């Protein structure tokens, strides 16, 4: 073969050497393999970083967090890079300080059981108390005022018309005796009635009537219906002459509470003249809130202490519990009947009423042990090892510094009675970090008492 044939267009210097395509394919395959290996390595690193807390938690190691920024966590103690606060432990499967109990604990939505070291319990001043069974009702303190006994009030009134000629009681508050003259009334109507009585009396068998000292029964009854006293009728029988004046006397001994007339005033059958009250026995009316209405019954022992006489106590019993509740004050009235022989208790006096109410036994805890959010009421049960568990409760009536518990705890349980708000804050924080907190009302409805 000559030189021209070997240097043709198909066999020139630009042709690739033998095996070039194979080497190119190998280079691209190696490049793809190295890229895949790099992606797998990066993914494994990221996954290992994400699962590191769970691995450490499962291994029993403590995770540390910032109390002000719970989103920041670390695997060792230190300071928060955001605010500079000292990190605190969050999770410890071995139950060390600040451990959140797995699974939340308790039955209060949004709260979790927490475990606190004895040193910290002493530092924040946690006190506990036992759930005890005590009387549901004890001493009940009310506010009351003195009023006259309505059964001892007497209204002085006349049943004929006339004019007051003389009035012997010139002011209210005066004392009168039974039979004491109160006023003298001039009444032409009364004079006419007495004249009719005398005419009817003279028209009968005088000898028979006089021998028995009797007058006409029908005419005498009419005078009595007009309110003429018996002594005036007796005077008519003796003197046989009608009078234009009538003397009114006090029906009882007591105090004049009201005076509605003056001398010279014209009065009729509908005119109230005087009101006389016997104050040797008075009532004390006290206001009782409707929430306590079942605690007081007629016959309960009671004591009344007036603000005017703080060193003097008057004892008695609940005489009556009124059946109606005021729509304005949401209270009902309780009545005490007290002896007042010396007149020391005067109508209008205010004071304190203490009722010794009795009742059945019920569970109770200190009032400060109950946390009331407006939607839920709960307590923290103190368990062994410094563990505190939130527990939903239903409360009843307050009893001084304690409150009745209807449901939620048992007799002998121990509850936190002091520093509950600190444990409550810790419980909410642990529940939020561990993700066990529920929104209130999401799965429980504890807003209604049984």
Instruction: Report residue 272 CA to chain centroid gap.
Output: 44
| pLDDT value, residue 90 | 63
* 223: exposed, middle or buried (Cβ count in 10 Å: 0-12, 13-18, 19+): buried
pLDDT band at 15 (very low <50, low <70, confident <90, very high): low
d(CA 170, CA 93): 92
Per-residue pLDDT of 216-266, as tens digits, reads: 556 677 788 877 887 888 888 888 888 888 888 888 899 999 998 999 999
C-alpha closest to that of 371 among 388, 387, 391, 386 = 391
Residues counted in the chain: 450
Pairing of strands 63-65, 73-74: antiparallel
**Mean pLDDT throughout 118-137?**
84
Q: Is 143 helix (H, G, I), strand (E, B) or coil?
A: strand
* Cα–Cα separations (whole angstroms), residue 310 to 2, 156, 350, 352, 353: 147, 36, 11, 10, 12
In this structure, what are the phi and psi dihedrals at residue 209, rounded to the nearest 5 degrees? -70, -40
- Rounded to an integer, the average pLDDT of 258-277 is 90
Q: What is the pLDDT of residue 430?
A: 79
Identify the band that residue 61 occupies on the pLDDT scale cut at 50, 70 and 90.
low
DSSP string, 256-269: EEEE---TT-EE-T
What is the model's pLDDT at position 432?
79
Average pLDDT over residues 59-70: 64
Kindly report the average pLDDT of the chain as a whole number. Answer: 78
Q: What is the Cα–Cα distance from 265 to 276, expressed in whole angstroms?
A: 20
The tens digit of pLDDT for each residue in 359-411 reads: 567 888 999 999 988 888 999 999 888 889 999 999 887 777 888 888 889 99
Q: What crossing angle do the helices spanning 230-239 and 217-225 adopt, rounded to 10°? A: 140
DSSP single-letter state for residue 11: G
Cα separation values, 26 from 18, 29, 38, Å: 15, 5, 19
More reliable by pLDDT, 290 or 59: 290
Q: What is the pLDDT of residue 392?
A: 92
- Over its C-alpha atoms, the chain yields an Rg (Å, rounded) of 49
Average pLDDT rounded to a whole number, residues 26-51: 63
Find out whether 104 and 435 touch, Cβ atoms under 8 Å.
no
Give me the phi and psi of 131, to 5 degrees please.
-75, 120
Query: Rounded mean pLDDT of 313-318?
Result: 92
Which pTM does this prediction carry? 0.53
Tokens standing for residue 201: 């009396």
pLDDT reported for residue 448: 39
What confidence category does residue 141 fall into, taking pLDDT thresholds of 50, 70 and 90? confident
């Amino acid at each position: 073969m000559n030189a021209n044939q070997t240097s043709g267009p198909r066999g020139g210097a630009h042709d690739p050497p033998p095996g070039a395509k194979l080497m190119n394919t190998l280079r691209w395959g190696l490049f793809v393999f190295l890229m895949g290996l790099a992606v797998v390595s990066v993914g494994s690193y990221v996954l290992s970083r994400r699962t590191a807390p769970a691995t450490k938690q499962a291994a029993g190691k403590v995770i540390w967090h910032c109390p002000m920024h719970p989103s920041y966590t670390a695997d060792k103690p230190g300071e928060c890079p955001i605010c500079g606060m000292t990190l605190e432990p969050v999770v410890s499967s071995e139950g060390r300080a600040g451990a959140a109990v797995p699974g939340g604990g308790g039955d209060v939505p949004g709260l979790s059981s927490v475990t606190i070291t004895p040193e910290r319990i002493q530092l924040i001043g946690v006190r506990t108390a036992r759930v005890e069974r005590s009387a549901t009702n004890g001493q009940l303190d009310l506010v009351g005022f003195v009023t006259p006994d309505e059964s001892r009030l007497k209204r002085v009134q006349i049943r004929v018309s006339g004019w007051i000629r003389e009035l012997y009681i010139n002011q209210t508050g005066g004392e009168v005796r039974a039979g004491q003259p109160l006023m003298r009334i001039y009444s032409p109507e009364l004079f006419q009635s007495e004249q009719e009585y005398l005419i009817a009396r003279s028209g009968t068998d005088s000898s028979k009537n006089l021998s028995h000292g009797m007058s006409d029964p029908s005419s005498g009854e009419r005078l009595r219906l007009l309110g003429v006293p018996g002594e005036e009728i007796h005077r008519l029988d003796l003197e046989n002459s009608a009078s234009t004046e009538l003397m009114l006397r006090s029906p009882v001994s007591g105090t004049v509470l009201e005076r509605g007339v003056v001398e010279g005033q014209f009065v009729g059958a509908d005119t109230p003249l005087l009101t006389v009250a016997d104050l040797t026995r008075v009532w004390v009316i006290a206001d009782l809130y409707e929430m306590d209405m079942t605690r007081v019954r007629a016959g309960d022992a009671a004591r009344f202490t007036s603000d005017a006489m703080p060193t003097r106590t008057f004892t008695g019993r609940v005489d009556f519990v009124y059946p109606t509740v005021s729509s304005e004050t949401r209270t009902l009235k309780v009545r005490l009947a007290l002896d007042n022989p010396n007149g020391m208790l005067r109508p209008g006096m205010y004071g304190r009423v203490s009722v010794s109410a009795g009742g059945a036994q019920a569970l109770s805890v200190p009032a400060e042990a109950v946390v009331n959010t407006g939607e839920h009421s709960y307590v923290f049960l103190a368990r062994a090892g410094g563990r505190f568990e939130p527990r939903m409760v239903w409360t009843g009536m307050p009893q001084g510094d304690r409150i009745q518990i209807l449901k939620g705890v048992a007799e002998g349980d121990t509850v936190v009675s002091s520093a509950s708000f600190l444990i409550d804050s810790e419980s909410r924080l642990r529940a939020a970090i561990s993700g066990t907190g529920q929104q209130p009302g999401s799965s429980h409805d504890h807003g209604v008492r049984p």
